[in-house]
C-alpha cells in the first residue's frame, strides 16, 4: 500500500504523514529531506544551489544514510532546498530513489510536493494537505521561536508566500493537487484533529477500493 501526501510548507503534512505511517505500520519518507540534503552538500562545497550543474553533482553523490542528519532541519536550508528543487535534472536524479522506497514490501507513506502527481501517480490513497498562508506562517514562526531563532512573523509569512510561488510555478513537477487527491485543510485543526481527519479519509478511500484498511 502506498499513501501519497502532498502540500505546501508548514501545512502539517510531514507530521501527519509520519503519524499515518506509524498507524498503518508503513515505511515513511519525507522527500523534502532529499532536496535539503542536496542543498546541504552543495553549500558544503561552497557552490550555489541555484546552479543546476552543481546541484546535480550533489544529487548524484548523495548518500542516503545522511538523511537523518539533524542539520537538515535548519531553517536556512529550506530556502536553498527550494532552489535545488527547481532543477529538472536534480528531480530526475532523485526520482528512482523515491520510487524504489515507495515499492518497499511493507508499503510506504511519502510526503512532498509531487508525490501524487509525479513520484507515485498510482498511489492507493492521495492526500493534499493545506492551510492558509497566514496559519502556516504562524506555525513556522512558533517553531522557529521555540528553536531560539529570532525572526518576525511577517518575515516568515513573506518567506512562505515566496516558496509557495516558486513551488507552484516551477517548470519541473510544480506543486498542485492531483485530481484524485483528497483535500485536507488543517487551518482550524490542531495536529491530533488533523491526524484523525487524515485517517478517516484514508480508511474511507481504502474501504471504497476494497482494501482491509
Q: How many domains does the chain have?
A: 1
Domain-embedded: residue 178 = yes
8 Å CB contact between 128 and 183: yes
pLDDT, average across residues 63-70: 93
pLDDT at 59 over 70: yes
Domain-embedded: residue 53 = yes
Beta-carbon count within 10 A of 15 CB: 15
Q: Per-residue confidence at 131, pLDDT binned at 50, 70, 90?
A: very high
Q: Per-residue confidence at 212, pLDDT binned at 50, 70, 90?
A: low
Domain-embedded: residue 213 = no
Domain-embedded: residue 212 = no
Q: Are strands 182-185 and 2-6 parallel, antiparallel or unpaired?
A: unpaired
Q: Per-residue confidence at 129, pLDDT binned at 50, 70, 90?
A: very high
143: Cβ contacts below 8 Å, ≥ 6 apart: 10
CATH label of the domain that carries residue 87? 3.40.50.300
How confident is the model at residue 171, as a pLDDT?
85
Q: Which domain holds residue 140?
A: 2-207
pLDDT, average across residues 12-41: 96
Residues 144-177 pLDDT 10s = 888 888 889 999 999 899 989 988 998 888 999 9
pLDDT, average across residues 175-199: 97
Beta-carbon count within 10 A of 133 CB: 16
pLDDT at 73 over 90: no
Domain-embedded: residue 190 = yes
Q: Per-residue confidence at 213, pLDDT binned at 50, 70, 90?
A: very low
Residues 197-207 pLDDT 10s = 999 999 999 99
8 Å CB contact between 130 and 184: yes
How confident is the model at residue 178, as a pLDDT?
97
Q: Write down the mean pLDDT value for the chain.
A: 93
How many CA within 13 A on the CB side of residue 84? Answer: 31
Domain-embedded: residue 93 = yes
Residues 27-38 pLDDT 10s = 999 999 999 999
pTM (predicted TM-score):
0.91
Rounded to a whole number of angstroms, the distance between the first and last alpha carbons of the chain is 10
pLDDT at 41 over 50: yes
Domain-embedded: residue 138 = yes
Domain-embedded: residue 162 = yes
pLDDT at 68 over 80: yes
How confident is the model at residue 17, as a pLDDT?
98
pLDDT, average across residues 74-81: 84
Amino acid at each position: 500500500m502506498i499513501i501519497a501526501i502532498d502540500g505546501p510548507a508548514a501545512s502539517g503534512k510531514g507530521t501527519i504523514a509520519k503519524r499515518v505511517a506509524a498507524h498503518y505500520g508503513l515505511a515513511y519518507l519525507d522527500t523534502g529531506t532529499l532536496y535539503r540534503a542536496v542543498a546541504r552538500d552543495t553549500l558544503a562545497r561552497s557552490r550555489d544551489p541555484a546552479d543546476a550543474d552543481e546541484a546535480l553533482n550533489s544529487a548524484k553523490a548523495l548518500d542516503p544514510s545522511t538523511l537523518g542528519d539533524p542539520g537538515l532541519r535548519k531553517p536556512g536550508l529550506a530556502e536553498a532546498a527550494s532552489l535545488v528543487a527547481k532543477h529538472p535534472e536534480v528531480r530526475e536524479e532523485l526520482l528512482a530513489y523515491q520510487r524504489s522506497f515507495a515499492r518497499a514490501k511493507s508499503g510506504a507513506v511519502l510526503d512532498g510536493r509531487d508525490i501524487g502527481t509525479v513520484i507515485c501517480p498510482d498511489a492507493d490513497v492521495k492526500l493534499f494537505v493545506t492551510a492558509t498562508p497566514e496559519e502556516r506562517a504562524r506555525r513556522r514562526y512558533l517553531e522557529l521561536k521555540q528553536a531560539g531563532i529570532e525572526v518576525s512573523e511577517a518575515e516568515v509569512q513573506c518567506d512562505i508566500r515566496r516558496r509557495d510561488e516558486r513551488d507552484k510555478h516551477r517548470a519541473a513537477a510544480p506543486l498542485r493537487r492531483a485530481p484524485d487527491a483528497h483535500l485536507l485543510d488543517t487551518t482550524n485543526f490542531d495536529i491530533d484533529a488533523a491526524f484523525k481527519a487524515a485517517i478517516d479519509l484514508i480508511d474511507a478511500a481504502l474501504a471504497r477500493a476494497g482494501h482491509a484498511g
